[in-house]
Structure 1
Amino acid sequence: MKKSLSIFMMLVLLLGLLAACGPDREAREQSTEDENNNTENQGEEPKPEKLVVWEDVDKGIALEPAIESFEEEYGIEVEYVELNMADKIRDQLRLDGPAGNAPDVVTLPHDQIGQVVTEGLLQEIQVEDAVLDTFSESSISAQMFDGKLYGLPKSTETPVFIYNKALMDQAPETMDELYEQAKELTSGDQYGFIAVLDDFYMAHGYLAGMGGYVFKDNDGALDRNDIGLNNEGAIAGAEFIQKWYADGLFPSGIIGETGGAARDGLFNEGNAASVMNGPWALQGMKDAGIEVGVAPMPKLPNGEPVKTFMGVKGWHVTQFTKNPYWSTKLIEHITNEENAKTRFELTQEIPPVKSLIDDPIIAENEAAKAVAEQSQYAIPMPNIPEMGEVWAPMASALQTIATGKSDPKAALDEAVETIKTNIETNHPGN
């Protein structure tokens, strides 16, 4: 009897305890749910009244519709100012940043990123993989420095193959084919193909396509101590370049600083069937009355593409903004597919947005399609400060190669030694 009573009393106490705990448990569950909801709502930081953007000169027309849709979606005013992107934006940011007058977002050429990050003018950004997947891999690589992302790309440019349709029916598929055509078409003052290959910007594609490289790329971090401009591939590329000069297929007047002007003059006068040049030259060709065709560079003898240097213009969040979250949201918005397409329509700047390569607006534009396709093979110019030590030694080496004063290996060995010495001298401790 006592045992049964004890069991009964224990059950009563247990039921009472559960009843008492029930409301507390429900309250705790509700509290947890509220905390989760609050965490989700806090994903967006407080909105600023205004964001300020520095845009390139004469490009604001393409920014305006992107700003309008951003303001409509997020309720944040965006003001923009046009400044020369090549130098004025960087130089002004150096002054206005410490003074408290810096913008939230700026546009810069990618080869300035390393320097301005080193100076503390830009900050790393964080975006989702889905955003990164919007763009070509090479254009995202151009926005990296020391393995970190410092911007999103807005446009790209790279040298391509341009030909006079009155003198050449179509672009050749390979450089070997072009070489044979050039031999047939070169006579007197007429040339089949002209490229300014003592200019390292232009010559790089041949050295890199054969296996050379400037600085070793380790997952977005360039190693200044690993220079591949005199490796076996680079030497093979230089030997291929030298052959064009040695066989008299390039005019002697395209060596040195006047080479570019000589190339442009010969083509625009109808004395060159084809050239290697950038999209920036097309308007002058059309103004000269030349009906041009544009294509990616023909493949090298090893079957690889000419891996031209690529320049990428991007959008960046400054170190001085008080609103990095919304500044990042802004550059995501103005580089999305819709706004990138609008920018191309209004400025002809070619966006490195993968989905637009097959869009009729680019696919049916011969020049834009060629640049977009060539950009898939192109390599962003190194954006670390040490790149400044590369240009002059490589120009000297390429000139001695082009004029036959040195064999490629000796010239490139000397150039690399000079580059390494200059890096150690001018960039100690890096």
Structure 2
Amino acid sequence: MKKNRLSALILCTLATGSLLSLQAHAAQQLNVWEDIKKSAGIKDAIAAFEKQYDVKVNVQEMPYAQQLEKLRLDGPAGIGPDVLVIPNDQLGGAVVQGLLAPLNLEGMATEQYTPASINAFKMDNALYGVPKAVETLVLIYNKERVDKPFATLQEWYDFSKQQRAKNQYGLLAKFDQIYYSWGAIEPMGGYLFGKNDKGGYNTADIGLNKPGAVDAVTYLKKFYADDIFPAGILGDNGLNAIDSLFTEKKAAAVINGPWAFQPYEAAGVNYGVAPLPTLPDGKPMSSFLGVKGYVVSTWSQDKALAQKFIAFINQPQYVKTRYIATREIPPLTAMIDDPVIKNDEKASAVAVQAARASAMPGIPEMGEVWGPANAALELSLTGKQAPKAALDGAEKQVQMQIEAMQASNQ
């Protein structure tokens, strides 16, 4: 009987030990959600990480803009990722809802990134992600119409005026939307939100109607008032009209993003790409920066290992490999001058412009800006209202909508 009990005890101990061993082994796994058709870019980095840390990394692809929504369900259920990819404009809502874990700044080498890209993943001085790739507006021109892109916006205006005499168009841009006109508004002194004492945004301080913003809109207005732009590019269908005029080779240049490269190429346009031109005061046009970044789920069982993974795969040698595989522009300052990007006209233009751009605020209140700002721009640029009056009205409308939104969330 004693032998049976002893045997049972030994078996129980062995079983418990095996279970603990399995649990320990299971803990040394990381689940990573990567963007669609982008996991090939981190394959080499993952293999090196697994070898160095004796860990298994499981990768699943899904559209990056939908990952947070899936995390809301999968995270609490225990089947979510440790690391995922999100766009920076979703950061604010995710932090407020407690979906993401803050990162420990030690060992993150944040100085290797362009300031705008790393700041895109900060909230109230806390870092929640590391930038993976950036995209922003650039100038795309038809090489059959323009030998070399003009350096200044004024030169583009003068050239465009000459083209109108030939019933052609020079430069076209969707300046009646703040996403496109921001390139002039910000450098000339406008801003979306002021800063609070924590380094975050002060949503009570809106800068849409500051003197610099009024000056910028007044300057852009002449593209419409002087018949440089056709009326058809106004409103919701304006982008389609711009694309059509460029692909039909009736416009010499457009301000658009990297997402237009493939359609323009498919349309047979021999195009070049350059950073945005400079403004009358000599400052280069800015733009909104879209940033994809790696973040850590608040439900991760090993946040320290997840952070090590993010830091590891964003070492320069792996970032370069990722760029070659995916062609997504990395926001590492060292990569801007790397021959693999510098010698690629498209990539170089995006990289240079991205360094001049500012990240779109990733706070929920930003959603209340688009409608009033776009309405004010259309009123101003078409001459239906003076720029100052239209922007004053937009600022009041944004304030009212933000106050209503914040009140409903209390």
For residue 224 of structure 1, what is the aligned residue in structure 2?
203
Select the residue among 148, 152, 158 that pairs with 2:130. Answer: 152
For residue 185 of structure 1, what is the aligned residue in structure 2?
163
- Are the aligned partners of 1:115 and 1:385 in contact in 2 as well (CA < 8 Å)? yes
The C-alpha deviation readout for 1:191-230, integer Å capped at 9, x for no partner, is 0000011121111111112110101245741111111110
- 2:172 aligns to what SS in structure 1? coil
- Are the aligned partners of 1:190 and 1:271 in contact in 2 as well (CA < 8 Å)? yes
Q: For 1:79 and 1:278, locate their aligned partners in 2 and report how far apart those are by CA, in whole Å.
A: 32
Select the residue among 60, 63, 82 that pairs with 2:42. Answer: 63
CA-CA distance at 1:325 after TM superposition: 0.6
Q: For 2:108 and 2:69, locate their aligned partners in 1 and report how far apart those are by CA, in whole Å.
A: 33
For residue 368 of structure 1, what is the aligned residue in structure 2?
347
CA-CA distance at 1:146 after TM superposition: 2.1
C-alpha change, 1:417 and 1:198, in structure 2 (3 Å) is: same
For residue 102 of structure 2, what is the aligned residue in structure 1?
124
- Are the aligned partners of 1:52 and 1:79 in contact in 2 as well (CA < 8 Å)? yes
- 1:124 aligns to what SS in structure 2? coil
For residue 117 of structure 2, what is the aligned residue in structure 1?
139
- 1:92 aligns to what SS in structure 2? helix
Q: Which runs of 5+ in 2 are unaligned?
A: 1-24
Select the residue among 284, 295, 298 that pairs with 1:319. Answer: 298
For residue 408 of structure 1, what is the aligned residue in structure 2?
387
For the pair 1:104 / 2:89, whether they are aligned, the reply is no
CA-CA distance at 1:130 after TM superposition: 6.5
For the pair 1:205 / 2:183, whether they are aligned, the reply is yes
For residue 316 of structure 2, what is the aligned residue in structure 1?
337
- 1:275 aligns to what SS in structure 2? strand
Give the alignment of 1:29-428 within 5 angstroms. 48-86=27-65, 88-128=66-106, 131-187=109-165, 189-218=167-196, 220-428=199-407
C-alpha change, 1:171 and 1:220, in structure 2 (3 Å) is: farther
Look at both structures and tell me which one has the larger radius of gyration over its CA atoms: 1
CA-CA distance at 1:382 after TM superposition: 0.5
- 2:192 aligns to what SS in structure 1? strand
Q: For 1:63 and 1:263, locate their aligned partners in 2 and report how far apart those are by CA, in whole Å.
A: 36
- 1:170 aligns to what SS in structure 2? coil
Report runs of 4+ in structure 1 exceeding 2 Å deviation. 127-130, 186-189, 217-220
C-alpha change, 1:132 and 1:295, in structure 2 (3 Å) is: same
Q: Which runs of 5+ in 1 are unaligned?
A: 1-45
Cα RMSD after superposing both structures: 1.7
Aligned residues: 385
CA-CA distance at 1:186 after TM superposition: 2.3
Q: For 2:105 and 2:45, locate their aligned partners in 1 and report how far apart those are by CA, in whole Å.
A: 19
Q: For 1:129 and 1:81, locate their aligned partners in 2 and report how far apart those are by CA, in whole Å.
A: 26
The C-alpha deviation readout for 1:334-376, integer Å capped at 9, x for no partner, is 2221121111111110000111111110000001111111111
| Amino acid paired to 2:337 | D
CA-CA distance at 1:136 after TM superposition: 0.7
C-alpha change, 1:156 and 1:327, in structure 2 (3 Å) is: same
Q: For 1:320 and 1:187, locate their aligned partners in 2 and report how far apart those are by CA, in whole Å.
A: 62
CA-CA distance at 1:239 after TM superposition: 0.6
| Amino acid paired to 1:265 | S
The C-alpha deviation readout for 1:147-204, integer Å capped at 9, x for no partner, is 2100000000000111001001111111111111111122465100000111211111
TM-score by length of structure 1 reads 0.87
| Amino acid paired to 2:158 | E
Q: For 1:220 and 1:50, locate their aligned partners in 2 and report how far apart those are by CA, in whole Å.
A: 35
Q: For 2:220 and 2:90, locate their aligned partners in 1 and report how far apart those are by CA, in whole Å.
A: 29
- Are the aligned partners of 2:83 and 2:294 in contact in 1 as well (CA < 8 Å)? yes
- Are the aligned partners of 2:124 and 2:200 in contact in 1 as well (CA < 8 Å)? yes
Q: Percent identity?
A: 43
For residue 19 of structure 2, what is the aligned residue in structure 1?
none
| Amino acid paired to 1:137 | P
Q: For 2:248 and 2:308, locate their aligned partners in 1 and report how far apart those are by CA, in whole Å.
A: 48
| Amino acid paired to 1:181 | F
C-alpha change, 1:387 and 1:356, in structure 2 (3 Å) is: same
Q: For 2:177 and 2:377, locate their aligned partners in 1 and report how far apart those are by CA, in whole Å.
A: 7
CA-CA distance at 1:127 after TM superposition: 2.5
| Amino acid paired to 1:103 | P
CA-CA distance at 1:141 after TM superposition: 0.7
- Are the aligned partners of 1:148 and 1:220 in contact in 2 as well (CA < 8 Å)? no
TM-score by length of structure 2 reads 0.91
Q: For 1:47 and 1:337, locate their aligned partners in 2 and report how far apart those are by CA, in whole Å.
A: 30
